[in-house]
Amino acid sequence: MLQPIPCSIPERIREICRYIEAHSDEALSLQDLASRAAMSRFHFARSFKAVVGVTPRQYLAAVRLRSFKGDLQASKAIRDATYDAGYGSSSRVYERVGARLGMTPAQYRAAGAGVEISYAALTTPVGLMMIGATDRGVCFVQFGEDEAALLARLRAEYRNAAIEPMRAPGHPQFAAWVEAIGRHLRGEQPHLELPLDIRATAFVMRVWKYLQTIPYGEVRSYREVAEGIGAPKAVRAVANACASNPVAVVVPCHRVIRESGELGGYRWGEERKRALIDAERSHKCATR
């Protein structure tokens, strides 16, 4: 039996989100969801994206991905995880999930088993940094106070991966990636474009890609980012996406601040965020 329809549009959309989360293993059509919200398909689709920041289809995909990853981490068989998450076939899960996991489902289930990650630590103007990369691209760029803690953080993400310090000859591009990040932090290479091997939902990836378009030495508010990706009401979701960024500087989440001009949060410390912004502005002025 259907529950009473909430009055406000945001309440209806939140109710539909809860319904999707509870029935993500079922075939959910846009028409079914719109009917449940007592709205036309067109109005529902527009309202859903305005409130949530992504389309109903993208939200369902993100819920299924979360379920799938949870089952894999719980050591459930890949076949069972595939169907429990609502994917119709193993080919579909590889097609839709593989790119977002950054590795195959089997490798993710095994916490990176079969994946080789090289890492290097370097001292930067804003503190110690560790960089990790697979043969597909950079997967880890984080600041910390000591190398052991940073390495522990990397190993926690990829528990069963073969994680080794960068050695010669090693991956032919890894040394170049590390050098590029170092040059960027010294203000010698403002534009940083490196291949990435990171995981994210469709919405979070949109945020991260937008952050990479913010010019060196400039900042944007969380609201401006939300508007820039076509989801003006998803300010909080944008902030969460920034907070979950695994590759500092490469995805420059430090360039996003509050509308008031305050810095806002930064997972590696507000003092470091201020230092990064000030350094970029200083280097930019010096090259004019």
To 5 degrees, how large is the angle CA 63–CA 67–CA 72?
Answer: 150
Model's pTM, two decimal places? 0.63
- Asked if 142 and 116 touch (Cβ cutoff 8 Å), the reply is no
**Which entry of 7, 242, 253, 285 is annotated as an active-site residue?**
253
pLDDT tens-digit map of 64-105: 776 655 544 454 444 444 444 434 444 444 444 444 445 555
Highest mean pLDDT pick, 112-116, 201-205, 245-249, 261-265: 245-249
Q: How far apart (Å, rounded) are the C-alpha atoms in residues 132 and 164?
A: 9
- Asked if 206 and 229 touch (Cβ cutoff 8 Å), the reply is yes
253 in active site: yes
For residues 12-39, give the mean pLDDT.
Answer: 86
The two three-digit tokens of residue 3, written as one number: 């529950």
Q: Is the pLDDT of residue 232 over 80?
A: yes
For residues 42-67, give the mean pLDDT.
Answer: 81
- Asked if 94 and 104 touch (Cβ cutoff 8 Å), the reply is yes
Instruction: Provide the pLDDT for residue 266.
Output: 94
For residues 106-129, give the mean pLDDT.
Answer: 78
Domains of the chain, first to last: 9-109 (1.10.10.60), 116-171 (3.30.160.70), 202-286 (1.10.10.10)
